[in-house]
Amino acid sequence: MQQFIDAAPGIRLWTEQRGPADAPPLLLVMGAQATGVGWPEPLVDALAEHHRVIRYDHRDTGRSTWAFEERPYRIADLATDVRAVLDGLGIGRAHLVGMSLGGMLAQMVLADHPDRCLSATLIGTSALSTTPYTRPDGSTVPAGELPGIAPEVLELWSRPVEEHGEAAEVARRITHWRVLAGDRLPFDADWFRSLERRVIAHTGHHRTSTAHGRAATDGMLRTDRLAANEVPTLVISAPAEPVFPPPHPQHLAQCVRGARLVEIPGMGHALPPAVHNPLTAAILAHTAAAAG
């Protein structure tokens, strides 16, 4: 079932629900510049066997309002959209699953509104905390000195997005996914091509917004509140992650009180078919444990 939610004045968000209406709600929160359709269909269907699964388009993606030029916003405003989706659908509490920027938004909701969270699963993201990372040998590393984004990713991100037609845009996105997916699993270009064609069909055009990259990042740190967390939290560790490489997941698990860490073999900063089953199993085991 598809539905639009009024998240703020002049801002409407596209949402989709799947699974039994009376099942525990699970909200999927995608990364920067990514639509809700970026959550792969098999993963959504598998989660929907046990949950009322909701996915949505961020502002300036998919079928939601594109209005950053007229009404600039902060990344923190995207976290308020998470609650707006729950409010608009009449959901008091939900399991949150956030990927990349979505994992940061989930952290902000987890810290500011734990009463809205049944559990949280954080994937491919970084801690909104200044707490140092403690290595296995007991030594520490300042949060700001953890490994940065891989050079090949930064090089791609530095290139201007030029308009050369839909086919060229799809090819550009596949090149992007090839780097994000890492080098541990075989890369299936056809699968990612099909994904991007679904995204374009859903959106209605192949333009790419840069709004999230330009949105203000002030007010995102949640060091003390994450350290006092009481919501069951799962951190997914991806060994081939090029955006927030290890030990970012380990650091995140240390920053969020009570968090558990589960590694998905071969995973990078993408959701190809090879990770669907282990990732689904990890999420469902976590939500089931959170339900008691």
pLDDT at 108: 98
Q: Classify strands 11-18 and 2-8 as parallel, antiparallel or unpaired.
A: antiparallel
Contact 10, 65 (CB under 8 A): yes
* Residue (of 197, 227, 245, 208) closest to 61 by Cα position: 208
**pLDDT tens digits along 145-181:** 999 999 999 998 988 888 889 999 999 999 999 999 9
> Band of the pLDDT at 270, cuts 50, 70, 90?
very high
Domains of the chain (ranges; CATH) run 2-147+209-291 (3.40.50.1820)
For the segment 240-248, the average pLDDT, to the nearest whole number, is: 97
Give the lowest-confidence range in 70-79, 152-161, 236-245, 282-291: 152-161
Sign of CA dihedral 102, 178, 35, 283: negative
Q: Cα dist. 268→95, 99, 123, 189, 253 in Å?
A: 23, 12, 10, 15, 18
Arithmetic mean of pLDDT over the chain = 96
Helix 189-203 crosses helix 166-180 at what angle (to 10 degrees)?
130
In this prediction the pTM is 0.97
